[in-house]
A and B are shown apart, each in its own frame.
Chain A
Amino acid sequence: MVYVVGPTWFYGIDYIFDLVSVIVGLLISYFSYRTYRYTSQKKYLYFASSFFLVALAFIAKVLATIPVYSKELKVETVGLVTVTSHIINKVTWINQFGISIARLVMLVAFLILVLVSLKIKDKKIILLLIYLLIISTTLVSASYIVFHVTLLIMLSILFLNYRKNYLRIKSLNAKLVMCSFFALLISQIFFIFEGLAENFYVIGESVQLIGYLILLVAIIKMMVKK
């Protein structure tokens, strides 16, 4: 089974969307790491790691789908049954492995973000959450749905946290962060229902892009502040 979702016309366009997410992830990671270097506070290091992992997950997703998207071309041009089937087997393996890694890395990234944002320091709770995360993503057959539902739950927690933060400090950047996480959680709802209509994947990707673009605006505003 090959993990590719969405309509064929969208193949490749989502790379551009994912590239934006990679840039945002790396920018936030860099900024947070720089803050860690100044303050030595571990929370900034964990925060940097979580966004670095987000970027890494998107890179893994892109790498995992490249062979699948190019596979169709190879089937058409080569046209030899034996060669084609060999390519498909290899492609399927790369795709499945890559997507599984991308999902796990993404969930770990957002779990770190939840732990840092909610200031959870109890190691027993952290271990329990890691255990639940691993079994829910590796030992279930409906891994696509479970992945997006898990992400939806974590993003909802983060959104509520950033909403509370915005209501406390009332700054434009805090508002942008809150809105970006709202967009990210809405995108997961579309991904969950992708099975009903292929275009839901396109809408999900577009809403997710909006979320990361809002986050990009916020981080640029922070970086140019004088």
Chain B
Amino acid sequence: MSARRTKIEIIHDILSAIQKKRGKIKPTHLLYKSNLSYKKMLEYVNELINKGMMDEEELKGKKMYTITEKGASYIQEFKKIKEFSESFGL
């Protein structure tokens, strides 16, 4: 059984899922890719939108989530953050 994901890992998984879909993803697809419950996914999505790491937009009448520049920079910083967190046991 794999270990429980930390918050920084979940954020990375969400943002990576959007980036892999060329920066835009449908909510249902994100739900599948993030491996979270619908309620939990919405909590994370709202937090990431508030932080300016994600955006929500309408495309042909359908809701889509997009990744922002700040979100992309988080993916780049992820390894450093993870290493820092693990090294200090945080």
Contact = CB atoms under 8 A, between A and B. Distances in A.
B48 to A, nearest CB: 10
Contact of B88 (A168, A177, A223): A177
Contact of A35 (B53, B84, B89): B84
Nearest to B74: A38
A173 B83 contact: yes
Q: Considering residues B47, B88, B89, which has the most beta carbons from chain A within 10 angstroms of its beta carbon?
A: B88
Interface in B56-90: 74, 77, 79-81, 83-90
A43 interface: yes
Nearest to B76: A226
Given A116-B90, A171-B87, A223 B80 contact: yes
A134 B88 CA distance: 27
A117 B85 contact: no
A47 B11 contact: no
Interface string B4-47: 00011001000000000000000000000000000000000001
A127 B88 CA distance: 24
Given A38-B74, A39-B8, A225-B79, A161 B89 contact: yes
B28 to A, nearest CB: 26
B89 A40 contact: no
A6 B81 CA distance: 40
B81 A218 contact: no
SS of B interface (majority): helix
SS of A interface (majority): helix
A53 to B, nearest CB: 16
- Size category of the A interface is 20 to 34
- Size category of the B interface is 10 to 19
A39 B89 contact: no
Contacts of B90: 43-44, 47, 116-117
Contacts of A222: 80, 83-84, 87
Contacts of A43: 90
Contacts of A225: 79-80, 83
A77 to B, nearest CB: 49
B70 to A, nearest CB: 9
A222 B51 CA distance: 24
Q: Considering residues A38, A219, A225, which has the most beta carbons from chain B within 10 angstroms of its beta carbon?
A: A38
A177 B89 CA distance: 10
Interface in A118-169: 161-162, 164-165, 168-169
A176 B74 CA distance: 25
14 contacts: A38-B74, A38-B81, A39-B81, A44-B90, A162-B88, A165-B88, A169-B86, A171-B83, A171-B86, A173-B86, A222-B80, A222-B87, A223-B80, A225-B79
Given A165-B86, A177-B88, 17 more contacts: A35-B85, A38-B51, A39-B11, A40-B47, A40-B51, A43-B90, A47-B90, A116-B90, A165-B87, A171-B83, A171-B86, A174-B86, A218-B87, A219-B84, A221-B83, A222-B87, A226-B79
